[in-house]
Amino acid sequence: VTGAKAEILAIGDELLHGSAIDTNSAWLSQRLEELGVHVGRFTVVGDEPGAFESALRDAAQRVDLIVSTGGLGPTEDDRTRHEAAAVAGVELVFDPGSWASIGAWFEARGRALTEDNRRQALIPVGGAPLRNDFGTAPGLAMDLGGCRFYALPGVPSEMRGMFEEQVAPDVRERFSDRLSPVVHRTLNVLGPTEAALGARIADLMSDLDGDVRVGVTAHFGLLRVRIAAHGVTVAEADARADLAADRVRPRLGHELIYEGDQDLASHLVQELRRHGLSVATAESCTGGLVARALTDQPGSSAVFPGGVICYSNDSKVRDLGVSTTDLEREGAVSAVVAGQLAQGVAGRFGAAFGLGITGIAGPDGGSAEKPVGTVWFGLHRAGGGTRVWERRIAPISRSFVRERASFEAQAAVLSALRSGDV
């Protein structure tokens, strides 16, 4: 990566000890990458004296830009200003402008200003205060040798507002010739395990020319291949990302279910709407997870008339017309029952597609023939055929089996929409 490099420092005992989560760094990292600055590291330090100073001194040796959050408050343990001055080797001076703003903030809220607040009006020689319109603590911008340093408050809303209004414009201006915008591509895959997918694209993941990174993340068996590409311009980054995606795609085959950042249910609802088609669900082992995922999406009423949670055999027969004879002969977790659920629910709701899901979520209830994780699916197309298929889902946990089955069912509808067949 040729562009400007950054690191992020988060300050606070609560972050270090796990009683609060450092969300500031994740947010800042995304914003900096969007601006075209490459973030190479986060550091979290506690409030003890010297911890921030040493982290700041180290980072300033490595990168062009540092953003810190926290430690700007009025109390003795808020040392960001003091320690930044120490790293720069300069004195702190009292800034009357900052003091006036702090005073105005307190006055507007009818609160009493204390002597402690004077601490917040101190500024290292050569530094500039960053205005805080959202709270009392002014931030700080200064140069540490060749490194530009910004100190922002820990309170997330204050930090964000100040970053957008003051830091981002300054970064754009100072680093205008060294920004390297990043673009992303996401390829969503269902079928292989994470390890198997990793092996399939291992050469592309380790083929680090520095401008393109390929990684895999997993969520209940739904895998995302994430491509991040840098360029001098967005067009160049786009071209690199497209090239990488073209190399990944053939390795995924029909297991590539869709592309983009959207989650599966949101993509499915969008595609159903685009085709003007609907789906109804008959869910046994997933207990309504598919219906829940679909109805979480705004606008789903146009494509989801309803579903049945047919958990008992009684319900399968009474509510969806499954044959008692077939049910007794084949068992509830079977091809024939999955198919009848799909047909029954499509008819009952007058939907274009009917989905049937029946399986053994565990931890109990498995047998040698039908171990935990066995799930049968049925997909019926009104006026067309019915497809049934089985998955042996890894019995990692009850929730894994159920969520994975819900993804499988949704992906099947997507693929039927694409092929025009079930």
> Closer to ligand ATP at the Cβ: 101 or 374?
101
> Contact with ligand ATP (CB under 6 A): which of 6, 56, 137, 248?
137
Rounded to the nearest whole angstrom, what is the least distance from the CB of residue 36 to ligand ATP in the complex? 23
Cα separation of 224 and 350, whole Å?
Answer: 34
Between the alpha carbon of residue 317 and those of residues 169, 287, 313, 373, the distances in Å are 65, 16, 6, 23
Q: Is 138 within 8 Å of 127 (Cβ atoms)?
A: no
Cα separation of 394 and 405, whole Å?
Answer: 11
Q: Which helix (H) or strand (E) holds 409?
A: helix 398-419
Find the binding residues for Mg ion in span 7-66 (CB under 5 A): 12
Q: Is 259 within 8 Å of 190 (Cβ atoms)?
A: no
Residue 87-106 contact track with ligand ATP, rule CB under 6 A, x = bound? --------------------
> Closer to Mg ion at the Cβ: 70 or 339?
70
Rounded to the nearest whole angstrom, what is the least distance from the CB of residue 74 to Mg ion in the complex? 11
Tell whether residue 153 is a contact of Mg ion (CB under 5 A): no
- DSSP secondary structure of 322-355: --HHHHHHH-SSSHHHHHHHHHHHHHHHT-SEEE
Binding partner selected for residue 129 from Mg ion, ligand ATP, none, CB under the kind-specific 5 to 8 Å limit:
none
Binding partner selected for residue 354 from Mg ion, ligand ATP, none, CB under the kind-specific 5 to 8 Å limit:
none
> Closer to ligand ATP at the Cβ: 25 or 334?
25
Binding partner selected for residue 24 from ligand ATP, Mg ion, none, CB under the kind-specific 5 to 8 Å limit:
ligand ATP
Closest CA to 69 of 19, 144, 140: 140
Cα separation of 279 and 349, whole Å?
Answer: 9
Find the binding residues for ligand ATP in span 54-83 (CB under 6 A): 69-73, 78
> Closer to ligand ATP at the Cβ: 20 or 199?
20
Q: Which helix (H) or strand (E) holds 181?
A: none
Only one of the segments 69-77, 227-235, 257-265, 287-295 lies at the binding site for Mg ion (rule: CB under 5 A); that segment is: 69-77
Between the alpha carbon of residue 46 and those of residues 53, 58, 83, 87, 114, the distances in Å are 11, 16, 13, 17, 25
Rounded to the nearest whole angstrom, what is the least distance from the CB of residue 21 to ligand ATP in the complex? 6
> Closer to ligand ATP at the Cβ: 70 or 181?
70
Cα separation of 390 and 110, whole Å?
Answer: 68
Q: Which two tokens stand for residue 49?
A: 């004296």
> Closer to ligand ATP at the Cβ: 43 or 410?
43
Q: Which residue has the tokens 């967005």?
A: 234
Find the binding residues for ligand ATP in span 7-46 (CB under 6 A): 10-12, 14-15, 20, 22-25
Rounded to the nearest whole angstrom, what is the least distance from the CB of residue 322 to ligand ATP in the complex? 52
> Contact with Mg ion (CB under 5 A): which of 3, 36, 70, 344?
70
Cα separation of 280 and 300, whole Å?
Answer: 12
Binding partner selected for residue 10 from ligand ATP, Mg ion, none, CB under the kind-specific 5 to 8 Å limit:
ligand ATP
Rounded to the nearest whole angstrom, what is the least distance from the CB of residue 213 to ligand ATP in the complex? 25
SS3 255: helix
> Contact with ligand ATP (CB under 6 A): which of 35, 39, 130, 155?
155
* Rg of the Cα atoms in the chain: 28
For the purposes of burial, counting CB atoms within 10 Å of the CB of 357, is it exposed (0-12), middle (13-18) or buried (19 or more)? buried
Q: Is 344 within 8 Å of 320 (Cβ atoms)?
A: yes
What number of chain residues touch ligand ATP (CB under 6 A)?
A: 21
Query: Which residues of this protein are in contact with Mg ion, per CB under 5 A?
Result: 12, 70
Query: Which residues of this protein are in contact with ligand ATP, per CB under 6 A?
Result: 10-12, 14-15, 20, 22-25, 69-73, 78, 137, 153-156
